[in-house]
Structure 1
Amino acid sequence: MFRTALRNVLAHKARLLMTVLAVMLGVAFVSGTLVFTSTLSEAQQRSSEKGFTGVDVAVQPHRADRDSGTPGPAPRLRQDLLDKAAALPGVASATGSVGGFAAVADKKGELAGSGFTSAGANYYPGKDGKDARYPLVSGRAPQRAGEFALDEHTAAKTGYKVGDTVRVSVRGPVLEQKLTGVFTTDDGNVAAGGSLALFDTRTAQKLYAKPGQFDEITLKAAPGTSQTALKSAVEKILPRDTEAVTGQKLADDQARLISEGNSGMRTILLVFAGISLFVGIFIIANTFTMLVAQRTKELALLRAIGASRRQVTRSVLVEAFLVGLVAAVTGLVAGIGIGAGLRSLVSSMGGAVPDGPLVVPVSAVISSLAVGILVTMLAAWLPARRAAKIPPVAAMNSVHAVATPKSLVVRNTIGALLAAAGAGIAMAATDESGLGLGAGLLVIGVFVLTPLLSRPLIAAAGPVLRPFGMSGKLARQNAVRNPRRTAATASALMIGLTLITGLTVIAGSVQKAIDKMATDSIKADFVVVNASMTPLSPEVAKKLAKDPSVTASSPLRQGEARIGSGTEFLTGVNGGAIGDLVDLDFTAGSIAGLTGNKVVVDADTAKQHGWRAGSSFTATYEDGKKGKLTVSGVYKGNDMLKGIMVDNATLTPHLTDYSDQQVMVKTTSGDGDKAKDTLRKALGNNPALQIQSKQDISNEIAKVINLLLNMLYGLLAMAVIVAVLGVVNTLAMSVFERQQEIGMLRAIGLDRRGIKRMVRLESLIISLFGGVLGIGLGVFFGWAAGSQIGEKMATYELVLPWGRLGVFLLLAAAVGTLAALWPARRAARMNMLSAIKAD
């Protein structure tokens, strides 16, 4: 039986090619994902370990008791602690670090590098006058105010050289700095396309903290002193709200964070690989069903001469094993290439991929072989079992060809129950897991029902096919001749379009909700934010308030306060102007009373604390002082504005080191480009600041949504490609099955062009059938998911992107047209006499 299986595989190489390709693509997706993420993790961890080479113990700010202590961040480290730590026995060197955001302008005045990774820090020389973290390649280290050093990558990109004057922005103000040196660094942010500016320690402390303050102190142990021993010695001199951590623990924590971050990406990629493999199951099952049907008499003869049912089943499964093995091995090799290609692609796009060897983990090899073989054998098991159950005499007479009414009733009943259960669960779901379960059951139910649905839906295409004459009529009849085969072929395309449509509907609806939210809640003409989304210097708000074109402005400033047994963030605003800048929907009171000790609270926070208009509560501020606040209004919050709002005049005196999240501005000339240019000049043409109108905010969010959507489209494209292979495979084998019929059609007058048209139209009908089902299911899932989103986003409403839905339907038509090119050409070139004689 093994020799028989091997002979059948070799005899049907061409027919099994599409199956091999479908499995290979899915396996390549799996192995490529594992190779890429393993390579990325390994390189990042090596780079991270290199960054901790000179760190044996790190001292960091840490709140000892956040539940009962003073609210707010832990205080920074002081110079006296650095001096004490440096004097400890076993300490070879001690380094104090302080830093934050620093944007470097290029020679055109634009931001050099990515805003999210534009940083500044201090150059801390050791006993030898050098900072081992930042080896200089030219020039010297910064020594006084007005000087700075720049990383080599940014210097090369911008064309700056030692001695140039460069504009640098730190949290807001623009500084004219002289470039004194260029250095190299292992900082991952620089590798990701960011920039790093170094100042002398005193200047950095003035810019990012206060004189004599540090964000972190790192210690290098003297020879013979272990990290654990040094940590124990350091802990004896630590003040409250600080902690000591060994360099090994820092490296381990960083490795864990890297692993967790890449694990999320790996999971997402593997989900899409699983979708491709799931789609491939339909192709495999279809292929083996047709192969078994074509060999019915052969299998019956084997049964007649003594082969058992198990032997027949095993024979087909051995064929599947061999096909799966070939597909898995080729998929593994292709996946290794994909992993290497992804690393190069990410690097070329400016992504942070440290140098390192390509890693092919054992898990990639085992997973590829297991997935490829198991998926193929699983898909082939049902056709194999069906073939073994056919009695030899019935097989010889093809009695098995017609499905019994009982089997169809059972199938349709099961499909209807699954679809109804899935739709019900999806509509009633309150979380993602419930929606996922409902979606899975509904898709399976529709798949089971697809043979039943194919007849009425394909029949509806009759009027469209009528102008094509006999070719159109034959195409429609061929498409419903074998409903199960048509269903399996259409379902492969249906799954891909279901996901694509659902994601598109959700993304479009969310974007519309954000537009409405911005329009409804913000009256300000502009919102000024940092390019890195880090806090702004208070100087920005002061400059804007003094500009004659500004009629109203308010910084949004945050501070932490203890209220009752928990902590809440207070948002400080300009109480006198905020009413002109926001439009909040109040359920009680108004924003007019936001002065002194009066606050306004969003409805969710008010409900959580049991507050209403007129309620009072005590807040403990960051400086330890207490104040009594009164609720003057309750409003409906949203993702842009929510929480407890208090007048800055009340909040700011209690903040030791404050900054602004954003500044809202209203101007005399509205939100046009002219007003934006005026504000930009008032802020010194600062490259780090973004001046955004309501439309700019919406466009920025839309850009992120479209980027994510396009990435998902790219990942789902693999499933669509596999579906195309399925249509090609079905048509090719269908043409082979109908050789005699095609030969007879040619003999009675249907020309080659008519044969081609018949096959193409059949392919088009099947693809559009799958497309209609996929788009319909996708819209339903978009609606079901939207009902959950609407509970958290009041402005959410279902938006059907008719233009894109039309494009998806055209995509389904294009799939059918392209998939039919080779089978149609093959059918038309068939010799009619040879075809008629074919058995």
Structure 2
Amino acid sequence: MRTVLLASLRTHTRRYVSALVAVSIAVAFVVVIDAIGSGARSGVAASVEAAYPAADLVVGEEYGVAEADPAKALEVAERRGDRATVIASLWTTVAGPDGSLGDDVQVGTVSTEPDLRSQDVARGRAPTGDGEALVAEDTAKTHDLKIGDLLTVGVGNDATDVAIVGLTRASSYLDADVDITWPAMAGLGMAIPDAVAYDVRDGDVAGATEALTAAVDSTVQTRDEYVAARIVMLNQGVDVLSYLLLLFAAVAGFVAVLVIANTFTILFAQRSRDFALLRCVGATGRQVLRSVRVEAFVLALAGGVAGVVTGVVLGRGLGWVIRAWAGEAAFGPVSHSPVWLGAAFIGGVLATVVAAWWPTRSVVRVSPLAALRPSGEVTARTAAGRVRIALGLVAVAAGCAALALAIASGNMVPLILGGMTSFVGVLLLGPLIVPALLRLLGRVGRTGGPLRVASANAVRNPRRSAATTASLLVGVTLATAILSGMASARQAVTAEMDGEYPVDIALSGTLPVDAVRSVGQVDGVDEVRAVDGAEVASSAGRLTIIAPSADDREVTRDREATRVADDEILLPTVVAQDFAEGIPDELTLRTREGEVTLATQLVGSKWGRAAIVPPAVLAQLTTDAEPRVLWVLADDGADAEELGGTLGALTRGGDVQVDNNLEDQQWVAQQLDVLVWAVLGLLGVGILIALVGIANTVGLSILERSREHALMRALGLTRRGLRRMLAAEGMLLSVVAALLGTVLGVTYAWFGVETIVVPVLGSGGLVIPWIQLGVVLVVAALAGLAASTLPARRGARVTPAEGLTLD
């Protein structure tokens, strides 16, 4: 059989190219997932990693670090000759040469060790002692601070004076307005330690880990482990990227098995006469079975190697394209994990062997004489057809049950398993579903001979039609589900962000007379609204209230976020944190002109340093209301840091507090962009697999029907007519796959939204991107046409006499 094996590989090389391509693309898909995932992780982690440069280890938990651990970690570093720096923050009063910078200015720590310093110094130099500080460029611009100015940080006897020696630009997620050394901050008595970044000088990371673990109460982790945990925490405890990679890895394996199994099914069906002849000349069924499985294994090895190489090249190229379009901040450098490369290769080999297992068994089950005779098609009326339909119905029912369980539990595992199981059921039911849809399209489009013949020909062989549409059905379903899911998730996140940040920037306090005009003239400002209010006495202390009108609320990103009932007061957390005795259930507001008691509603929305009351209440409390808060909506693409600094500088001289919500919005938008670009990259590769799959199956199907086409040519069909018929057939099959895939994809997207998006955000619903789905339908139809073009031209070149002699 070794001679037969080698002869078969030589003789059927052209046919095996399709199987080799299917295996290679499947393996390459997994490799590209790793590449895109690494770039996305780099983009997400860039601002987090930047806070811990050159750190081999990080001491800390998700919530921070134990109070005594910073001193203990510094002692270990001094004893071992290593370097360490404490990362901490506090919100306190900071005063400059021209007055206060605010009562809750964010103050961070800066290391005197250059390698451990996370700040990016734009001008000046870094601090070398406890009496020096760095100031953010936008903060310096807002308060007219210069290098050499003195700042007083803190209150009372614990306050400390520091000199500004440098200005910083944004560099990490821990950026602060003012940065001082840890000893200077510790002396203020209000520091909140976040972590300790630890640099091992002698390379003995294991020894340093052991020493730190023995000394501190907090967890000691490598920087990569700590950064990964921080990213999960910043995403509200959900490792979104890992979920996406898990989803696409599972889909990749699933698609690989489908495409390869489909290819081998058609390939071995074409060779049934060859196998029968081998059986007739003395080969046993076991020998034939072993021979074709060895062929599949050889193809798997060759396809695995080709797939790994292709995946590396494609992953790096795709990563470069995504990075060029999305920017380095959204998508980082691409790298390849040896574990993923090995898993892709081994998984491709195993997937090929598994995918080829059943087709080979079905081939050698047929007796030699039966295989040499024309065989009947398996239909619903045969025993095999009834079993197939029964299995399909069971798979669909089991998959739907798993999908329902996913919604109930909010777990992705039953979501993936349910989706795959139900999709397998749909594929098993394909010989029933696909012909029914083909008949429907055939009735609609019975206007020309080629289309009529193509429709009848496609319906005549249900299993072959279902097998041909399977690859494209996978791609369209995947594309539709991902596009609909992303649109739904993006809208849900946007709605959540709009509710939390109804305005981009809020200016609170005593506003200049011409504030609206001057702010409106700033580049990057789209809309400005001055909201009237007053400062009143309350049962919890002095309080600024505002009463936005219907017109004021209309310009916000979420008008419902600032809607207040007639007997309520909306209290943002930034205001409530100043209440020394907690937040009462009711607040009594007093002025010389009246007194009102309102129910307190604590909200997370951020619209400035003021509570919202109904306009009638404000009119009852004062007749001299004046603008107390300026609401600013920015242009699309405006730089948050630059705009915030400009507006702060513009309102300098008064008691004005700038709340820059746009910075938080843009940070979240950046994380979403990373995920979107990563998903689009993976989706592109998935669609490529689908296109290769349909090209394989259409090409093999046309090759299988060479005698049939030759007979049609002999009966008078021209070469042009044959090409048009095959093109029409390919387009019909593609349209059917696209329509069915769109319905399935939207359904799976709904289950995904209800399982993942709604539990995380608490709201959301399915959003169907009609334009994008329309593009998918057009691409699918063109893919069917393109997949049929080359095989049809090749088939049309065969003369009738030559074709009738083919096996």
TM-score, length-scaled by structure 1: 0.66
Does the C-alpha gap of structure 1 residues 722 and 343 become closer, same or farther in structure 2, counting only changes over 3 Å? closer
Q: Which residue does the alignment assign to 1:501?
A: 480
Aligned with 1:350 (options 328, 334, 339) = 328
Aligned with 1:747 (options 693, 714, 721) = 714
Does the C-alpha gap of structure 1 residues 327 and 495 become closer, same or farther in structure 2, counting only changes over 3 Å? same
Contact 1:783 1:798 in 2 (8 A): yes
1:453 equivalent in alignment to 2:433:
yes
Pairs within 5 Å for 1:91-490: 122=110, 124=112, 167-169=137-139, 173=143, 175-177=145-147, 201=180, 210=188, 254=226, 257=229, 265=241, 268-269=244-245, 271-338=247-314, 340-341=316-317, 349-350=327-328, 361=338, 363-364=339-340, 366-399=342-375, 405-427=382-404, 429-430=407-408, 431-433=410-412, 434-469=414-449, 471-490=450-469
1:382 maps to a residue whose letter is: W
2:311 maps to a residue whose letter is: G
SS in 2 for 1:310: helix
CA deviation after TM superposition for structure 1 residue 425, in Å: 4.7
Which moved further from structure 2: 540-549 or 718-727?
540-549
Contact 2:82 2:198 in 1 (8 A): yes
SS in 1 for 2:4: helix
Task: Return the alpha-carbon distance in structure 2 between the equivalents of residues 61 and 678 of structure 1.
Answer: 32
Q: Which residue does the alignment assign to 1:25?
A: 25
Does the C-alpha gap of structure 1 residues 672 and 703 become closer, same or farther in structure 2, counting only changes over 3 Å? closer
CA deviation after TM superposition for structure 1 residue 705, in Å: 5.6
CA deviation after TM superposition for structure 1 residue 760, in Å: 0.7
Task: Return the alpha-carbon distance in structure 1 between the equivalents of residues 281 and 112 of structure 2.
Answer: 88
Task: Return the alpha-carbon distance in structure 2 between the equivalents of residues 783 and 718 of structure 1.
Answer: 23
CA deviation after TM superposition for structure 1 residue 577, in Å: 2.4
Pairs within 5 Å for 1:621-632: 627=582, 629-630=584-585
Task: Return the alpha-carbon distance in structure 2 between the equivalents of residues 780 and 397 of structure 1.
Answer: 44
Aligned with 1:526 (options 503, 514, 529) = 503
Does the C-alpha gap of structure 1 residues 346 and 178 become closer, same or farther in structure 2, counting only changes over 3 Å? farther
Structure 2 unaligned residues grouped into runs of 5+? 92-105, 150-162, 517-528, 535-539, 588-597, 613-626, 652-656
Task: Return the alpha-carbon distance in structure 2 between the equivalents of residues 669 and 586 of structure 1.
Answer: 15
2:481 maps to a residue whose letter is: G
2:279 maps to a residue whose letter is: R
Aligned with 1:716 (options 663, 679, 683) = 683
Task: Return the alpha-carbon distance in structure 2 between the equivalents of residues 516 and 698 of structure 1.
Answer: 12
Contact 1:136 1:181 in 2 (8 A): no
Aligned with 1:51 (options 49, 54, 79) = 54
Does the C-alpha gap of structure 1 residues 525 and 323 become closer, same or farther in structure 2, counting only changes over 3 Å? closer
Contact 2:147 2:164 in 1 (8 A): no
Q: Which residue does the alignment assign to 2:154?
A: none
Pairs within 5 Å for 1:529-608: 541-542=508-509, 549=516, 551-552=530-531, 576-577=545-546, 590=565, 592-594=567-569
CA deviation after TM superposition for structure 1 residue 171, in Å: 11
Q: Which residue does the alignment assign to 1:806?
A: 774
Q: Which residue does the alignment assign to 2:152?
A: none
Task: Return the alpha-carbon distance in structure 2 between the equivalents of residues 146 and 543 of structure 1.
Answer: 33
CA deviation after TM superposition for structure 1 residue 372, in Å: 2.0
1:492 equivalent in alignment to 2:492:
no
1:829 equivalent in alignment to 2:797:
yes
Task: Return the alpha-carbon distance in structure 2 between the equivalents of residues 768 and 490 of structure 1.
Answer: 9
Does the C-alpha gap of structure 1 residues 209 and 752 become closer, same or farther in structure 2, counting only changes over 3 Å? farther
Does the C-alpha gap of structure 1 residues 436 and 728 become closer, same or farther in structure 2, counting only changes over 3 Å? closer
1:440-487 per-residue CA deviation (whole Å, 9 max, x = no partner) reads 332122111111012221011124542332x21221122223222221
SS in 2 for 1:683: helix
Contact 2:142 2:646 in 1 (8 A): no
Structure 1 unaligned residues grouped into runs of 5+? 65-73, 102-117, 151-165, 236-242, 530-539, 556-570, 602-619, 649-663
Task: Return the alpha-carbon distance in structure 1 between the equivalents of residues 531 and 402 of structure 2.
Answer: 50
Task: Return the alpha-carbon distance in structure 1 between the equivalents of residues 732 and 542 of structure 2.
Answer: 61
Which moved further from structure 2: 263-272 or 414-423?
263-272
CA deviation after TM superposition for structure 1 residue 376, in Å: 1.3
Q: Which residue does the alignment assign to 2:12?
A: 12
SS in 2 for 1:552: strand
Does the C-alpha gap of structure 1 residues 684 and 326 become closer, same or farther in structure 2, counting only changes over 3 Å? same
Task: Return the alpha-carbon distance in structure 2 between the equivalents of residues 41 and 794 of structure 1.
Answer: 26
Task: Return the alpha-carbon distance in structure 2 between the equivalents of residues 338 and 252 of structure 1.
Answer: 26
2:778 maps to a residue whose letter is: L
Task: Return the alpha-carbon distance in structure 2 between the equivalents of residues 327 and 255 of structure 1.
Answer: 37
Contact 1:283 1:488 in 2 (8 A): no
1:725 equivalent in alignment to 2:728:
no
SS in 2 for 1:541: strand
Q: Which residue does the alignment assign to 2:723?
A: 756
CA deviation after TM superposition for structure 1 residue 809, in Å: 1.4
Task: Return the alpha-carbon distance in structure 1 between the equivalents of residues 391 and 806 of structure 2.
Answer: 39
Task: Return the alpha-carbon distance in structure 1 between the equivalents of residues 213 and 451 of structure 2.
Answer: 85
CA deviation after TM superposition for structure 1 residue 401, in Å: 5.0
Does the C-alpha gap of structure 1 residues 182 and 746 become closer, same or farther in structure 2, counting only changes over 3 Å? farther
CA deviation after TM superposition for structure 1 residue 31, in Å: 3.6
Contact 1:509 1:796 in 2 (8 A): yes
CA deviation after TM superposition for structure 1 residue 718, in Å: 2.0
1:408 maps to a residue whose letter is: G
1:526-553 per-residue CA deviation (whole Å, 9 max, x = no partner) reads 3427xxxxxxxxxx53366987546438
Contact 2:502 2:605 in 1 (8 A): no
Instruction: Note the aligned Cα RMSD (angstroms).
Output: 6.1
2:24 maps to a residue whose letter is: M
Task: Return the alpha-carbon distance in structure 2 between the equivalents of residues 49 and 672 of structure 1.
Answer: 33
* Corresponding residue pairs, total: 704
CA deviation after TM superposition for structure 1 residue 222, in Å: 11
1:678-697 per-residue CA deviation (whole Å, 9 max, x = no partner) reads 998652269x988679xx99
Task: Return the alpha-carbon distance in structure 1 between the equivalents of residues 586 and 176 of structure 2.
Answer: 45
Task: Return the alpha-carbon distance in structure 2 between the equivalents of residues 88 and 838 of structure 1.
Answer: 84
Does the C-alpha gap of structure 1 residues 508 and 252 become closer, same or farther in structure 2, counting only changes over 3 Å? closer
Task: Return the alpha-carbon distance in structure 2 between the equivalents of residues 672 and 139 of structure 1.
Answer: 32
Contact 1:205 1:214 in 2 (8 A): no
SS in 2 for 1:466: coil
Contact 1:572 1:646 in 2 (8 A): no
CA deviation after TM superposition for structure 1 residue 137, in Å: 13
Task: Return the alpha-carbon distance in structure 2 between the equivalents of residues 394 and 498 of structure 1.
Answer: 38
Q: Which residue does the alignment assign to 1:734?
A: 701
Contact 2:505 2:633 in 1 (8 A): no
1:820 maps to a residue whose letter is: S
Aligned with 2:649 (options 684, 687, 695) = 684
Contact 1:138 1:181 in 2 (8 A): no
1:835 maps to a residue whose letter is: G
Q: Which residue does the alignment assign to 1:617?
A: none
CA deviation after TM superposition for structure 1 residue 396, in Å: 2.2
CA deviation after TM superposition for structure 1 residue 800, in Å: 3.4
Contact 2:472 2:737 in 1 (8 A): yes
Task: Return the alpha-carbon distance in structure 2 between the equivalents of residues 679 and 347 of structure 1.
Answer: 28
Does the C-alpha gap of structure 1 residues 498 and 168 become closer, same or farther in structure 2, counting only changes over 3 Å? same
Task: Return the alpha-carbon distance in structure 2 between the equivalents of residues 777 and 60 of structure 1.
Answer: 40
Identity %: 26
Task: Return the alpha-carbon distance in structure 2 between the equivalents of residues 137 and 667 of structure 1.
Answer: 31
Does the C-alpha gap of structure 1 residues 527 and 219 become closer, same or farther in structure 2, counting only changes over 3 Å? closer
